Chain A
Amino acid sequence: MTKTITIAHGNGGEENNELIKKIFYKNFENDILAKSEDAAVIEDGKLAFTTDSFTVSPLFFPGGDIGKLAVCGTCNDLAMMGAKPKYMTCSVIIEEGFSTRELEKIVKSMKTELEINGAIVVSGDTKVVPKGAVDKLFINTTGIGTIEHKGITASGLKEGMSILVSRDVGAHGATIFAAREGIELASSLQTDCASLYPQVRALMDSGINIVALRDATRGGVSAVLNEWAKTSDVCVEVREESIPVQEEVRGICEMLGFEAVDLANEGTFVLCVNKEDEPKALEVLQQTHTTSAVIATVSQQHKGRVILNSSWGTKRFLDLPTGELLPRIC
């Protein structure tokens, strides 16, 4: 570990994993935590339990705000364990001088999102700190859900299985970067921020056996695929041209030198199913987003690694994003 914490330690990639392992896992060590799933499975597999803190600049962005993010983020972590979000807590740390109107706007959008998930906030806390102690507003939410589909795990991937994404990737990261860099877009690029429980419910209703499920937040689709490849000790082979990416997102990636698969999403998940479930899973996903697609298969070629196959017959590794995402220089 480095002597001080840097922004890179919060990137969802390699440095982030190091921080969690070497400081938190080491001290909090227990079997449930060690599973390192999106949400902890407790009470003999009946409940899923998770927490997440939210800080984003700007607070309001095309397609959402920090409030929507705070509910979606936690509810999605529950949904990714096959759980129905039920009860939530909401803690806010507010910087002195923050606008009451904006706060109410944020809480209203939390309400809307809670309704979509069928969850309620049952406890909460507010703290106000002097100017400069936080950047405007930080929100923490914790959630409990009842597990409706057992056995979803990052270690369940086996040779021959198929991997799908629920929609085009990178929209949230690209939207935030465009807003931050002041890139004016002619079109209406929006964050993908959305509650995922309804889609997970639809997958369960169709009788599909969900092997692995994860929302591709920080670190993007690359981080999810790399984690699955490592945890399951298999190779994930991606067909590069099959990864759905919106034109606007691609444009921003080209300008700033990013890859869409490394960008954060807030309403996009990656799904692993048995080969025979692939057509049905795709059909269900496409009812919500026509851009959903099959992007990869599981093989044994390079265990623990993700390979990207190009349409001209070359291969390369797709690694975990490292460091802070920085725009290219020239």
Chain B
Amino acid sequence: MGLELKNLYDDFRDGDTIKAYAKIIAEDAKKLKKPISIMEVCGGHTHTIMKFGLPQLLPANVNFIHGPGCPVCIMPKERIDHAYVLAMQADVILVTLGDMIKVPGSNGSLQDARAKGADVRFVYSPMECIKIAEENPEKKVIFFAIGFETTTPMTAVLVDQVIKLNIPNIFFHINHVTVPEVMVELIDSRDVHVDSYNNQIDAFLGPSHVSVISGSKIYDKFPRDYGRPVVVTGFEPVDAMQGISMIVKQFVEERCELEVQYKRVVNHDGNLKAQALIEQYFEKMSLFRWRGLGNVPDSGLKLREAYKAYDAEVLYKDVLPIAEIEDHKLCICGDILRGMAKPQECTIFGTACKPTTPIGSCMVSSEGACAAYYKYGNLI
């Protein structure tokens, strides 16, 4: 009997186990000296927390702050406009991942571009670009790459294949970003865009899939230099509850450490082969502008100089818009991301700003905090 897919989630959704952790957390939380706010950095965690209703199981002195870890949400409008402009080029097939095609830029979303005749495709695996390129030799296939450390290796493998197989018609628009840099920004920023001194973040839940690639080592500095515990945690409800319980225990026992809840996969070093591949093709951008947060140093990746022949941002620089586009004045996504406000405190939440007509970053993808609040509601 091999491992079946259901083995990967069945036990981690067990009602009794979830209830047992809720009890442990409630008991431990009584010993907390002050309320704690835990930031789940990743949108996937936000989704888990809201979908499985976990806040309903937690005592009043344990709170969540929903972090910026949703690759679609953090994309500034000018980069969405890049995707739109590229898609509208006559000889281009624009390929991207999932939700990205729904996000509105200043001219509309990629869905709108498709309705106007642009060839826009969404794929589950970037490797499908190779098939698309083979079937359309007269077209330029541009992979609009998005995502954190989790999806970067897949893009790196595609770059690697394009070079090794000498595929002439695949190009890249890179929007990969990294987790630790934005975490630093949220708790210790000296940037004009971000005033993080009033942040309410006491601890972090680290996303497990990021550490599958990068290891838990990327968080070493948070307990050490910034006094914030980190627990690298899986995405099933039992995982999340255990991760929260581990954080609460650290506060009760007055520890401040990096711990791994998701030990079934994550180790300290991560996937060295994937890291080497990323290192080979990508380098850090000095600044990447995050929607809702502004410029964050060293948080974005771009193709190395040696591969600029594959870089759509270089090839199409004459047609790509460069002006920065600010979000709506009433949008408070920046405050939500720093834990200073909850989605329902926003005056346009659920009225002018909805999943079908998103105005701010946290509403654009199903993994954004506002979208999760809107979709699953707050029943209790």
Of A158-166, A193-201, A285-293, A310-318, the one with at least 4 CB within 8 A of chain B: A310-318
Q: Which of B22, B115, B151 touches A6 (beta carbons < 8 Å)? A: B115
Q: Can you name the residue of chain A whose Cβ is closest to the Cβ of B371?
A: A322
Q: Which of B57, B72, B356, B376 touches A312 (beta carbons < 8 Å)? A: B57
Judging by beta carbons under 8 Å apart, are B151 and A329 in contact? yes
Give the number of chain B interface residues (Cβ < 8 Å). 47
A122 at the interface (CB under 8 A from B): no
Task: Give the secondary structure class of A's interface.
Answer: loop
CA distance A34 to B171 in the complex (A): 50
0/1 string, B1-21, CB within 8 A of A gives 1: 000111011000001101100
B149: shortest Cβ distance to chain A, in Å? 9
Judging by beta carbons under 8 Å apart, are B53 and A315 in contact? yes
CA distance A305 to B304 in the complex (A): 52
Judging by beta carbons under 8 Å apart, are B151 and A316 in contact? no
CA distance A15 to B112 in the complex (A): 14
Q: Which residues of B contact A315 (CB under 8 A)?
A: 53, 56, 379-380
Q: Can you name the residue of chain A whose Cβ is closest to the Cβ of B71?
A: A329
With A254-B5, A312-B22, A316-B376 given, is the CB distance from A322 to B355 under 8 Å?
yes
With A4-B116, A7-B111, A326-B122 given, is the CB distance from A314 to B102 under 8 Å?
no
With A251-B6, A312-B19, A314-B52 given, is the CB distance from A330 to B71 under 8 Å?
yes
Q: Which of A247, A310, A324 has the most CB of B within 10 A?
A: A310
Judging by beta carbons under 8 Å apart, are B44 and A256 in contact? no
Q: Which residues of B contact A6 (CB under 8 A)?
A: 111-112, 114-115
B101 at the interface (CB under 8 A from A): yes
Q: Which residues of B contact A257 (CB under 8 A)?
A: 98
B181 at the interface (CB under 8 A from A): no
Question: Which residues of B from 130 to 175 have beta carbons under 8 Å from A?
Answer: 146-148, 150-151
Judging by beta carbons under 8 Å apart, are A329 and B147 in contact? yes
Q: Which residues of A contact B102 (CB under 8 A)?
A: 8, 323-324, 326
B95: shortest Cβ distance to chain A, in Å? 13
Judging by beta carbons under 8 Å apart, are A256 and B53 in contact? no
CA distance A251 to B4 in the complex (A): 9
Closest 10 CB pairs of A and B: A314-B53, A311-B15, A251-B5, A330-B150, A312-B18, A312-B15, A317-B377, A326-B98, A316-B376, A4-B115
19 of the cross-chain contacts (CB-CB < 8 Å) are A6-B114, A7-B115, A254-B5, A255-B5, A310-B53, A312-B19, A312-B22, A312-B57, A314-B52, A314-B57, A315-B56, A315-B380, A317-B379, A319-B375, A323-B102, A323-B356, A324-B102, A327-B122, A330-B151
